[in-house]
Every structure is written in C-alpha cells, then in structure tokens.
Amino acid sequence: MAAINGSGSPSRRDILAVAETFDVPDAKSIVDQVVDVASRWNEFASLYDVGEDLTDEIGSEIKAMIKKVKAPGPQGKSERK
C-alpha cells in the first residue's frame, strides 16, 4: 500500500488532508462513495466468479481499510451498516 500523508495505513483524516492540499472538491462525499462501493466487494466478486479464498482474502483487507476511513458516527464512533 502506498503511503498517504506520511502513513502507510492512512486514516480518513490522512486522506482528507491530502484532498485539502490538492483542493479536491467534495472530498468527504467522494471518500464515502468509495467506502460504499468497496463495501460491496463480495457482491462484485460473486458476479465475476472470483474464488472463495481470494474473495475472503481481499474482503478482509477491504474491511480493515474501510474501518479506518469510514465516517465517524454519533459520539465519534464509526457507523455500522
């Protein structure tokens, strides 16, 4: 994984800091859209006949990344879907 804002495991804050540096409009919405699509990995993997082991392996990585960049919910905790 590439380093973002000096972090090899970037958080939402890291991603948004880089977006601000480069004046990316509506960055929060873009990050949320990417999280929504990435959270549907299993659906896409099934659609394209990705093997179960690979689906699970990639899915685990995606879930870990999503956990770090998902928008905070009430009391600053990550929202759950």
pLDDT digits (tens, 9 = 90+) for 20-76: 999 999 999 999 999 999 999 999 999 999 999 999 999 999 999 999 888 776 655
Q: Return the percentage of the chain with pLDDT > 90, whole number.
A: 68
Yes or no: say if 12 and 70 are a contact pair by the CB < 8 Å rule: yes
Q: Where are the domains of the chain?
A: 25-67
**Please, is 15 exposed, middle or buried when counting C-beta atoms within 10 Å of its C-beta (0-12, 13-18, 19+)?**
buried
| pLDDT tens digits for range 4-36 | 777 778 889 999 999 999 999 999 999 999 999
**CA 70, CA 12: separation in Å to the nearest integer?**
7
pLDDT score for 71: 78
